Chain A
């Protein structure tokens, strides 16, 4: 059956389905019950499944994840909602030291099939701690899987896959796309595995890699570039750990050029990992050094300035121009003097 849903509603439908299929699935978080979550993702679930399976929790994120670990120890499959990206850090120890390591620690005896849903990213004019992009922090941690969805179908399908997965999954939901509508097949046949990327627009000049909230912007940029005669292939990475380097490499071997764009700061971001791996695996295919278009190295700015922080259509097109050699790369004055002296 296919229906039209927003991304938020698709997530709710995925949770409803997962809870119906398995009564060990429990949903827990702040305001997820009676209110249905601040983004209404869990709307109606408590009425359908009761207060013990859809738990309004005390306001303690470490407590949410830590008790989920205990629930999983007893055979449950908790789905935790962290209300906003910036609130997850007080749960960091439970996620890194417990969730990620328990299966390895116990030699495979204890599985923690826990999904942690996190609304992520900026572009909604929010207050401090409500616009963060911490994906690299989690992608760096062995034992976790990290997923980022960008459309209603993936939201529905990947969330069900995450809940069904016996590994812990950090599940990022781009806030600015919660209200995006799309067709959702509620019984997809042979869906793409959770850990694989998808080419969302084919092209042959430049590979543009992104995920989550920037997928729409990247597609807009690809359309704009095509008006300019440049064919951009857009990859929605979907899985941030593991990264589907095979998919990226296959595209780059075709285009010879890659731009990675993400909202998080550049330094030690996922773009660096992708650029390094592309260089490693596709060195002889590259026509230019990989280009990154990212947030700046700073705390997320106040709402009125986030337009200068977030990669937008123009900055992505600038990145495409750079990787095509159409604009000179920026070189700091000091570096230019060094270069002149060397000559």
Chain B
């Protein structure tokens, strides 16, 4: 990788041959019949195959093989100088091992709280939950590359990113319990409220980054220290949205400090990535005039290295980069989804063998950075986090009815003020403070699976 283009790779890496795998192969005769009947499937079948972890056209960068074997890569390794568990200097070695364990803990905790949230949904404490299972490395590796003064604009699945940014665990579930439409204070953790409209946040990240450029002009940020970067997280489905493509245009033409971090988890609810694109997603970057880099999204070290490189480029006024992190949504789109209706168990099985957490754990054990006791300690941290999430979740109470009116506008609004007074008057007609009125009682957030269509968010 040339210093001037840190995130671009033009040739293949020393690649292991891609696993024989075709995500669209019919597993059973019944599936084959379904494919024949479904024209969309024909489109998918005739599209160029998008091999998730290899292929001659577009290299997928990787540092950890599936069994945890660390593969040297001089160009990526220079972004991970602080993470050498065999560093000759004792202090550096110790600090590297602590940092590596930190990545491991982040992933284990993310997986544990994700499982807890799914359980909370099954128990009726949450109306819905979009699991991140399988995407721990993509989220933790990228989020750990960020500075405090960077700003994340994410979708609704980036729970691990939010935790790394500093969100309180209970803030992850407010939305899904139905007591709020967002969780944390965006300015407190440098991360916007998650976006449900697919891809809309890519423009917000770009605009934020345009603001950084203005701030640099005005001397409000120190460009010499490296520009703060706007980071947009979105998925493979979002790559079809106009807003994402417009964000690419704006960021590229203005050379704004943005990293577009696409987690290609292969599925947009039931639609495979081949329905979104006939070329590997990363290849679109070139047409927008920005570098694109494809990384094994289940390899936390490679993700960290690639994101650091892309951020560095942005900080040095080099403009945006598209990162395609190739991963897999191991669970359903949301708890209301049933992936058995549209994808093969065999495919899921293949990806289970590429598990990001097991892979990293094998690596840590192989370099002596983790033993059984260490793993137990991390598990205990994760269990404690799950308990904290659960306790926080069930303690959340319904907001006051009249708080509905609080934040529609920032300034007095004579029409809404009148409506508020009218509704307060109505509530008061029940004879108390309105607690008995309609819409005021209710454990609707806790009514579980009742009203959560699969299409609530893709």
A7 interface hit (Cβ, 8 Å): no
Chain B residues numbered 254-308 whose CB sits less than 8 Å from any CB in chain A: none
Tell me which residues across on chain A come within 8 A of B182, comparing CB atoms.
105-107
Measured CB to CB, the closest approach of chain B to A68, in angstroms, equals 6
A267 interface hit (Cβ, 8 Å): no
Report the separation of the CA atoms of residues A26 and B192 in the bound assembly, to the nearest whole angstrom: 22
Task: Count how many chain A residues have C-beta atoms less than 8 Å from C-beta atoms of the other chain.
Answer: 53
The answer to whether B212 and A74 have CB atoms under 8 Å apart is yes
The answer to whether B211 and A106 have CB atoms under 8 Å apart is no
Q: Given A58-B253, A98-B200, A109-B186, verify A76-B415 contact (CB < 8 Å).
A: no
Tell me which residues across on chain A come within 8 A of B253, comparing CB atoms.
58
Chain B residues numbered 392-412 whose CB sits less than 8 Å from any CB in chain A: 406-411
Contact-residue bracket for chain B: 35 or more
The binding surface of chain B is classed by DSSP as helix
Q: Given A23-B218, A62-B246, A98-B200, verify A104-B151 contact (CB < 8 Å).
A: no
Q: Given A73-B192, A93-B200, A104-B408, verify A52-B217 contact (CB < 8 Å).
A: yes
The answer to whether A70 and B206 have CB atoms under 8 Å apart is yes
A327 interface hit (Cβ, 8 Å): no
A203 interface hit (Cβ, 8 Å): no
B242 interface hit (Cβ, 8 Å): yes
Measured CB to CB, the closest approach of chain A to B180, in angstroms, equals 7
Tell me which residues across on chain A come within 8 A of B200, comparing CB atoms.
66, 93-94, 97-98
A325 interface hit (Cβ, 8 Å): no
The answer to whether B185 and A109 have CB atoms under 8 Å apart is yes
Tell me which residues across on chain B come within 8 A of A143, comparing CB atoms.
408-409
Measured CB to CB, the closest approach of chain B to A60, in angstroms, equals 4
Tell me which residues across on chain A come within 8 A of B433, comparing CB atoms.
none
The answer to whether A105 and B193 have CB atoms under 8 Å apart is yes
The answer to whether B415 and A242 have CB atoms under 8 Å apart is yes
What mask results when residues 118 to 152 of chain A are scored 1 for a CB within 8 Å of chain B, else 0? 00000000000000000000000011010000000
Report the separation of the CA atoms of residues A75 and B209 in the bound assembly, to the nearest whole angstrom: 12
Measured CB to CB, the closest approach of chain B to A115, in angstroms, equals 14
- The listed residue (B186, B211, B247) touching A71 by CB distance below 8 A is B211
The answer to whether B415 and A245 have CB atoms under 8 Å apart is yes
- The listed residue (B212, B242, B250, B413) touching A58 by CB distance below 8 A is B250
Measured CB to CB, the closest approach of chain A to B98, in angstroms, equals 33
Tell me which residues across on chain B come within 8 A of A76, comparing CB atoms.
211, 214
Smallest CB-CB A-B distances: 6 pairs:
A70-B207, A66-B203, A67-B207, A74-B211, A242-B415, A63-B246
Q: Can you sample 16 A-B contacts with CB below 8 Å?
A: A58-B249, A62-B246, A63-B250, A67-B204, A69-B203, A70-B203, A70-B206, A70-B211, A73-B207, A74-B211, A76-B214, A78-B207, A103-B408, A145-B413, A242-B415, A244-B414
Contacts A71-B214, A73-B186, A103-B409 known; list 18 others, CB within 8 Å: A57-B250, A60-B250, A62-B203, A62-B246, A66-B202, A66-B206, A67-B206, A67-B207, A67-B210, A70-B153, A70-B204, A90-B242, A97-B197, A98-B200, A104-B408, A107-B182, A142-B408, A195-B414
